Chains A and B, each alone.
Chain A
Amino acid sequence: MSSFSFDGQPVPLQPGDTILQAAQRAGHEVPHLCWHPEVSASASCRVCTVRVDGRPAAACTTAAAAGQRVECHTADLRAQRLHLLQMLFVEGNHFCPGCEKSGHCLLQHQAERAGMTDLHYETLNPERPVDASHPDVLFEPNRCILCQLCVRASDELDGKQVFAIGGHGIATHLLINSASGRLGDSALAVTDRAAHICPVGALLPKRVGFAVPIGQRTFDDAETRG
């Protein structure tokens, strides 16, 4: 079977594999936020950036090829990843201790894994009003990292196209497809895949927050388990 090298270790590959898919299957961790196995890739967060034969590339969209030399957990890539995460933290308004998603949040998890202890950059403090109009799902845009997973899940899995991306540059934001632009008037149902795919706490099913005790949450580790 053909293979490529991932941080010096051989990873077998199957036809059509991206670097991220093949590496994950082989048990390697490739940090990521905007990638999900059930939907197409968007290559937007860039947290999965690796070096392929010395050149930077997003592991989620770069095809794996036999003989490639992929570097992922090097000192400079770790530093770059940390800075990307810090950028996402200052771009929105993230307050982990008070967030219902805490312990299940991929952004929080990646930041912990990356050893993030400060914001590094100045906070941009955007004004993003919360949309609580939906009976079963909360939209908290302050936590949105524009990964577009909900956009793609609604389109590709639910067949609804409830979400879209609006604006440009730092003013890029998530749009909701309804006459009022509010979630409550959209076609989203709490049973939709799009209502659960959010890696952060931007889209949250209501009335289930804090239901899982600390120690048993998705990303709890030996330390938080006590």
Chain B
Amino acid sequence: MLSRWGHDPHALVQVLRETQALTHWLPRALLTHIAQALNLPLAQVEGVATFYRFFHTRPVGRLRVLFSDNITDRLLGSEALLSRLCERLGVAPGQPDVQGRFSVDRCSCTGLCDQGPALLINHHQVITRLDTARVDALAALMLSEVPADQWPADWFHVDNKVLRADVLLSGLSADAPTLPEVLAREPQALIDELARAGLRGRGGAGFPTARKWQACRDADTSTSGPLRCVVCNADEGEPGTFKDRALLSEHADAVFDGMTIAARAIGAQQGWLYLRGEYRYLLPQLQAVLERRRASGLLGANAAGLAGFDFDIRIHLGAGAYVCGEESALIESLEGRRGTPRIRPPFPVERGYLGRPTVVNNVETFCAVAHIARRGGAWWAGIGTASSTGTKIHSVSGDCERPGLYEYPLGTPIAQILADCGAMDAQAVQVGGPSGACVPVSGFHRRIAFDDVPSAGAFMVFNPSRDLFEVARHFARFFAHESCGLCTPCRVGTELVVRRLDKLALVRGAGRGSAFDLQRLHELDALLHSGTHCGLGSSACNPLRDTLAHFGEVYASRTATPQFEPEFDLDAELSAARRVTGRTDAGAHLHTEHKP
């Protein structure tokens, strides 16, 4: 396997992935061997292996079950199902059974919110639509050690429910110009067409795509060599988002068309699809599409019949790290390192993968490119609003009758999406995932657009029975878990936010939350918002801020006192001393004013 990767240290993440697929976990001796084979320091290999959530440096079961832990999975009862499975198997979450047969744990969102609760098997297969019957049957199969490939096929069925298709989800029409016809145009003309379209990146930041491509095309390559790269960011990690999953499943050709057009426009030779580890099950189908495209001459030397246009696409698998959705962290990961965001500038368009000018765009962006290159920038600019052109795909989940995929022109009001998906009594919608915005009823007239409510694609609906404090606490845990640990405010701040919310949630220090804690939360929000290294830290408190602003009562109801109360119980701290001295009298207890 090491030779198949050419003993390339930049392939470290892939080597670790494939090794672990065989060995289940990564013992230190194995890391030492890999370090020697790739000529890397052991500490660096260990640093990478302990960074990604899907790598295990402690023993796990030969069969590993990871419950998707997005809030939408929880709303559908995932926690009770996890407990049930653990009970049936006789294990605790995170602990393998004594024979090492299996282990059960949680992972961040698997991108199956419209058909949850879901879980991952061996980071390789997904089981959707869990219920007690399915969990019981799963436990029986696991206990009798039936291999996963002999389990009922319908368990693994992933549905791409398209409930409103606009241009992207309808696909390219049969009479659309072919890719070679598109690529025959001048590279600059391709960029100009995108500029006319006014296309902005669909990954969340909304940067004008044409400007990004132009900067890459104009980048100085005198020091980095003549090579350039195109990277498709398919690390759809934002909880609640699953549109890229559907595009990769149903419209992979359009995505690869878009990447090839980008390569032609900027003069790239190399393409990467960075596929999140959770979507590993899509790999065989995507490889088959690439193989077909190579066979038909759309990839490889003189691609699409263009002399000198040598472009091919490889797939890199992620290993469970949300922060790798940030483009510079993604590039670090592609290079086989810890996915920590780089210092910018230089931006990836100047120095990206291996120092080469690199364009990184989202799956949906490349899909849009494939359409714009054929139907023209003016056509795309005619959809949506003046500053937010085109359509946007929304991954709708949560409390609604019809979860699934909805594509609308940008500028569509939240209320219309709610009406269409059958969410009649929503009290709030989390738009764009945890790093987006929590919009209350008073904001349902607002529109999804870059200049109103921007969205990376998630649309999670909460009805009045849901406790938005718990939603915010769940997202806070998510960010603390996914922080890369590089910068102080994010590394420490996200943890402090979780601890304070846990205190208010009566998990820690039972009912000792106070107005004082709310003030500290406001302060932590301000601190994280200004001065973290990347967007993860600066948006980590968005759910907290929005819910504090719009649903302050759910926090107020948890603040028992106006003054500070320590999270630990002073009297309980004396229990050991009482035990030792054998005293149970009143004098051996501290007087506690706010007994819960």
Which residues of A come within 8 Å of B, CB atoms?
41-47, 49, 56, 58, 61, 63, 80, 83-84, 87-88, 90-91, 121-122, 124, 145-146, 161-172, 175-179, 181
> How many A-B Cβ pairs are below 8 Å?
125
Report chain A residues within 8 Å CB of B590: none
Report chain B residues within 8 Å CB of A61: 343
The yes or no answer to B481 lying at the interface (CB within 8 A) is: yes
A83 vs B528: C-alpha distance when bound (angstroms):
11
Residue pairs across A and B with Cβ atoms less than 8 A apart, 10 shown, are: A58-B533, A90-B496, A161-B43, A164-B46, A164-B47, A166-B47, A168-B321, A168-B482, A169-B495, A178-B43
Pick from B51, B321, B496, B567: contact of A87, CB below 8 A: B496
A213 vs B557: C-alpha distance when bound (angstroms):
55
The yes or no answer to B184 lying at the interface (CB within 8 A) is: no
A198 vs B574: C-alpha distance when bound (angstroms):
39
Report chain B residues within 8 Å CB of A161: 41, 43-44
- Does B485 lie within 8 Å of A172, measured CB to CB? yes
A45 vs B480: C-alpha distance when bound (angstroms):
17
Report chain B residues within 8 Å CB of A172: 484-486, 491
- Does B43 lie within 8 Å of A45, measured CB to CB? no
The residue of chain B having its C-beta at the shortest distance from the C-beta of A48 within the complex is B531
List 7 tightest A-B contacts by C-beta distance, closest first: A172-B485, A177-B43, A164-B43, A87-B492, A164-B47, A170-B495, A175-B43
Within 8 A of A (CB), among B49-72: 50-51, 53
A91 vs B494: C-alpha distance when bound (angstroms):
12
Task: For the A-B complex with A46-B532, A165-B485, A178-B43 known, give 16 more contacts whose Cβ atoms are closer than 8 Å.
Answer: A41-B343, A46-B487, A46-B488, A56-B530, A56-B531, A84-B488, A87-B489, A91-B492, A122-B567, A146-B488, A164-B41, A168-B483, A169-B482, A175-B46, A176-B43, A177-B41
B319 CB, min distance to chain A CBs, angstroms: 12
The residue of chain A having its C-beta at the shortest distance from the C-beta of B343 within the complex is A61
Report chain A residues within 8 Å CB of B343: 41-43, 61
A177 vs B488: C-alpha distance when bound (angstroms):
24
The yes or no answer to B463 lying at the interface (CB within 8 A) is: no
Within 8 A of A (CB), among B310-343: 321, 338, 343
A86 CB, min distance to chain B CBs, angstroms: 9
- Does B487 lie within 8 Å of A167, measured CB to CB? no
The yes or no answer to B452 lying at the interface (CB within 8 A) is: no
- Does B42 lie within 8 Å of A170, measured CB to CB? no
- Does A88 lie within 8 Å of B42, measured CB to CB? no
- Does A169 lie within 8 Å of B345, measured CB to CB? no
How many B residues have CB within 8 A of the partner chain? 39
Report chain B residues within 8 Å CB of A41: 343
Which residues of B come within 8 Å of A, CB atoms?
32, 41-44, 46-47, 50-51, 53, 321, 338, 343, 345, 480-489, 491-496, 499, 520, 523, 527, 530-533, 567
A162 vs B345: C-alpha distance when bound (angstroms):
28
The residue of chain A having its C-beta at the shortest distance from the C-beta of B481 within the complex is A169
A146 vs B44: C-alpha distance when bound (angstroms):
15
- Does B494 lie within 8 Å of A169, measured CB to CB? yes
- Does B491 lie within 8 Å of A84, measured CB to CB? no
Contacts A87-B488, A87-B492: A167 and B50 contacting too (C-beta < 8 A)? yes
B215 CB, min distance to chain A CBs, angstroms: 17
The listed residue with most A CB atoms (<10 A of its CB), out of B32, B53, B343, B532, is B343
Contacts A164-B47, A166-B51: A45 and B487 contacting too (C-beta < 8 A)? yes
Contacts A169-B482, A172-B491: A49 and B44 contacting too (C-beta < 8 A)? no
- Does A84 lie within 8 Å of B489, measured CB to CB? yes
Pick from A43, A170, A177: contact of B492, CB below 8 A: A170
- Does B42 lie within 8 Å of A177, measured CB to CB? yes
The residue of chain A having its C-beta at the shortest distance from the C-beta of B480 within the complex is A169
Report chain A residues within 8 Å CB of B567: 122
Report chain A residues within 8 Å CB of B484: 168-169, 172
Report chain A residues within 8 Å CB of B485: 146, 165, 167-172
Contacts A44-B533, A122-B499, A170-B495: A178 and B488 contacting too (C-beta < 8 A)? no
Report chain A residues within 8 Å CB of B481: 169
A27 CB, min distance to chain B CBs, angstroms: 25
Report chain A residues within 8 Å CB of B338: 165, 168
The residue of chain A having its C-beta at the shortest distance from the C-beta of B533 within the complex is A43
Report chain B residues within 8 Å CB of A178: 42-43
The residue of chain A having its C-beta at the shortest distance from the C-beta of B482 within the complex is A169
Report chain B residues within 8 Å CB of A47: 488
